[in-house]
């Protein structure tokens, strides 16, 4: 690896990246450029600028990426109804390719030799950041401090920060090391502390975005969600930008206790890990999107999407957003969404999302004349079913004839 004179650090201003900033300066004697992404995490971002400036950083990037994040990453993922291992809506995973993209762009703009991230050596994020970076710049140098230093616990990090006078805000400390948290417009995640015991129930005070279903309003709320080519364009008749839509869905979903998840998942690096997630807006989006697809997608196209979705989900979870196979799958998925236009109405009540109606004036494949249980005036000939059933049963009838034991 060649000498590093300048490095771009993915910087939040929290414990890990504050320590990494100082460590990079001391270990590599390199100039550090900080990059902080505004992905709608809700934190005040100016303290990150102040901390970086206090640490001697001259080039500080704080970028509002909320619209790009939802429009170009979250929405395309939801066109596929993407769920990892049956439950996880990939809130952390889908943010990583955008951060990698911006890291590479800033490295080019500032003539940096390397990029650095704060992902641990046990987690998925190191894989996601680095696969994305190499896909966009195969010659980039990557520094992963967690794979180089001996500060392998929160306690050691806090001791290092205290020794070097690094101010660190302890979020949600409650008498111990803080939760490891990640937030963006799609979700907020929690790991660490007592969550490392899969048998321990999460504290109610941990959840930040959602009320408990028990404490949610006693009145249900209805929401009309309008779609154009598979993406949400309006809520209750009001046109909104992509990031505004997701923020509003988070607000109303959180109010009704929607989107909590407690999951033990299989990490790409091989271990099982427990995480808790709040994804109120995404939970609503998934339900509503499947509803509008139910009347606008051809049966076999819908089933093909469902068959491919787990592979697509794994690609995102494992860090292959920029891979040729994900791009190819996305092309197919986007093609299926051309006629996914219309609206779905959902009912929100005490932690649940129920679809109550859906319609498409231009692209519905639902034919009431054929589907009716009343007289259909010959729209469907019941006699056709006899031959259809016999032909489909032919292989099973042949097998039964030759494999049935003779008396």
Torsion of CA 11, 159, 26, 142, to 10 degrees: -40
Verify whether residue 358 is a known catalytic residue.
Answer: no
What are the boundaries of each domain within the chain?
A: 6-71+86-176, 183-359
- Pick the closest to residue 262 from 190, 187, 310, 316 (CA basis): 190
Task: Please tell me the predicted confidence (pLDDT) of residue 178.
Answer: 67
- Tell me the pLDDT tens digit for each residue of 1-34: 568 999 999 999 888 899 999 999 999 999 999 9
96 is catalytic: yes
Amino acid 316: pLDDT = 98
CATH 3.50.50.60 fits 183-359, yes or no: no
Quick one: pLDDT at residue 175? 47
Q: What is the pLDDT of residue 290?
A: 98
Give the pLDDT confidence score for residue 180 in this predicted structure: 84
Q: Is 359 annotated in the active site?
A: no
Of the listed 18, 93, 125, 326, which one is catalytic? 125
**Six token digits for residue 274:** 């427990």
- Residue of 96, 102, 274, 358 marked active site: 96
Of 3.40.30.10, 3.90.25.10, 3.40.50.620, 3.40.50.2300, the CATH number of 6-71+86-176 is 3.40.50.620
Query: Tell me: the pLDDT tens digits for 291-318?
Result: 999 999 999 999 999 999 999 999 999 9
Written as tens digits, the pLDDT of the chain (407 aa) is 568 999 999 999 888 899 999 999 999 999 999 999 999 998 778 889 999 999 999 999 999 999 999 999 999 999 999 999 999 999 999 999 999 999 999 999 999 999 999 999 999 999 999 999 999 999 999 999 999 999 988 789 989 999 999 987 654 444 455 688 899 999 999 998 899 999 999 999 999 999 999 999 999 999 999 999 999 999 999 999 999 999 999 999 999 999 999 999 999 999 999 999 999 999 999 999 999 999 999 999 999 999 999 999 999 999 999 999 999 999 999 999 999 999 999 999 999 999 999 999 999 999 998 988 888 888 889 999 999 999 999 999 999 999 877 77
pTM of the model: 0.94
Query: Residues 18, 93, 100, 180: which is the catalytic one?
Result: 180
Determine whether 125 is an active site residue. yes
């Amino acid at each position: 690896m060649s000498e590093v004179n300048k490095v771009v650090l993915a910087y939040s201003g929290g414990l890990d990246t504050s320590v990494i900033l100082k460590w990079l300066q001391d270990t590599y004697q390199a100039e550090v450029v900080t990059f902080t992404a505004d992905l709608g995490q809700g934190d005040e971002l100016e303290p990150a600028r102040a901390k970086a400036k206090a640490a001697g950083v001259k080039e500080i990037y704080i970028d509002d990426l909320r619209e790009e994040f939802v429009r170009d990453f979250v929405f395309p993922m939801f066109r596929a109804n993407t769920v990892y291992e049956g439950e996880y809506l990939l809130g952390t995973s889908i943010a990583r390719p955008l951060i990698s993209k911006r890291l590479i762009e800033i490295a080019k703009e500032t003539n940096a030799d390397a990029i650095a991230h704060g992902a641990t050596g046990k987690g998925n994020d190191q894989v996601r950041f680095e696969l994305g970076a190499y896909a966009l710049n195969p010659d980039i140098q990557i520094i992963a401090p967690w794979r180089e230093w001996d500060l392998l616990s929160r306690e050691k990090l806090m001791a290092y920060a205290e020794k070097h006078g690094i101010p660190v805000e302890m979020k949600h400390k409650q008498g111990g090391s803080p939760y490891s948290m990640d937030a963006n417009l799609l979700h907020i995640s929690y790991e660490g502390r007592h969550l490392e015991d899969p048998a321990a129930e999460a504290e109610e005070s941990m959840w930040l975005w959602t009320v408990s279903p028990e404490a949610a309003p006693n009145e249900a709320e209805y929401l009309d969600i309008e779609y154009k080519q598979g993406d949400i364009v309006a809520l209750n008749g009001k046109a909104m930008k992509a990031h505004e839509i997701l923020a509003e869905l988070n607000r109303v979903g959180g109010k009704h206790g929607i989107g909590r998840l407690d999951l033990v998942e299989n990490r790409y690096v091989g271990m099982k890990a427990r995480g808790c997630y709040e994804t109120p807006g995404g939970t609503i989006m998934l339900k509503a999107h499947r509803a509008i697809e139910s009347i606008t997608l051809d049966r076999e196209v819908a089933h093909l999407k469902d068959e491919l979705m787990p592979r697509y989900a794994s690609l995102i979870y494992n860090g292959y957003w920029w891979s040729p196979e994900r791009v190819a799958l996305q092309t197919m998925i986007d093609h299926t969404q051309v006629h996914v236009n219309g609206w779905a109405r959902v009912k929100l009540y005490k932690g649940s999302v129920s679809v109550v109606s859906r319609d498409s004036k231009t692209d519905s494949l639902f034919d009431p004349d054929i589907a009716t249980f009343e007289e259909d005036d010959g729209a469907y000939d019941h006699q056709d079913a006899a031959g259809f059933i016999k032909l489909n049963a032919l292989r099973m009838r042949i097998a039964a004839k030759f494999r049935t034991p003779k008396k």
